[in-house]
Amino acid sequence: MELWVAFSILAAGAQTLRFAVQKVLAGGRLSPAAATWARFLWSWPLAAVLAFTYGAVSGAVWPDFTLGFFVYGFLGGTFQILATICTVTLFSMRAFAVGITFKKSEVILTALVGYLLLGDVVSGLGMTAIAIGLIGVLLLLDPPEGGSIFNRAAGLGILSGVLFAISAVTYRGATLALNTGDPVLTGGVTLAVVALWQTATLGIWLWWKEPGQIMETLGAWRQTSIVSVFSLIGSWSWFAAFSLMNAAFVFAVGQIELIFSLLMGALWFRESLKPRELLGMGVLTTSILAVAFLVGR
């Protein structure tokens, strides 16, 4: 197994667990923004300590920070905040696995964003596989109770995919600008800097708009620290993978999160899926597998 594939699978597993805990928090004491803040609050100092320790022990050369790194990193961090808020809000409207699948529209969009921002090219066969995924997304747009596809859940799901796609590509830009030659160090340093930015930015917004949520988040430190740990593992792995392979490949492999989310929804949240939703996820999963084999060929 190639190293970037292992990083992608590890990231997907950690991300599934993190979203599951955030779903619980958002359904209780914390607002979607506060549940998102919990993701960064405890992870950035831990990431900084671990990255510094790894660099010292491994003897890796500490990177030179460039303007491009900060621009790409801060843009990626901002888009990720917005995308995560959309996803956590979506969890209160649809089943856990369906929410994750809506979010997975990111893989369909990442190839386009990657080409526009970084020049990453996807082959014709890869684009065909991605187009098949659009069918799966459309099957998921209808709410299970019927009605128009033009509903808030569908809008939030697609919006989260767009924002996560932009975030992923700008994060890849940040890792390329850092250029340490060591994917583990690159991932850790990028995570520490970006998570600090996200903690400060979203913390200021909460202090301004939802000041009571800051104390609620701190008071729920047992749950929020779990979110941060899984976020640390997931984000570090994503960044390491981005430093080795373009975002379209990484997200193609990361779609294994769909399988993880199905298991999580059934075993933890006791959720059942309707035939239309299962069909939509099946079609989208077929597209994901095809992308994993065809992108770049």
Give pLDDT < 70 ranges for the chain: 1, 22-28, 91-105, 122, 137-138, 140-154, 269, 273, 291-297
Q: Phi and psi of 13, rounded to 5°? A: -65, -45
16 to 62, 260, 282: CA distances (angstroms): 31, 7, 18
Alpha carbons 131 and 109: distance in angstroms, whole number: 10
Whether 87 contacts 158, CB under 8 Å: no
At residue 116, the pLDDT reads 82
The predicted pLDDT at position 196 comes to 94
Task: For residues 99 and 119, give the distance between their C-alpha atoms in angstroms, rounded to a whole number.
Answer: 30
- The helix/strand/coil state of 181 is coil
Q: CB of 32 within 8 A of CB of 89?
A: yes
> What pTM, to 2 d.p., does this model score?
0.78
Residues 6 or more apart in contact with residue 52 via CB below 8 angstroms: none
Task: For residue 55, give its domain range.
Answer: 3-294
pLDDT at 207: 93
Domain count, the chain: 1
For 178, counting Cβ atoms within 10 Å of its Cβ (0-12 exposed, 13-18 middle, 19+ buried), the class is: buried
Q: How far is CA 147 from the centre of its chain?
A: 29
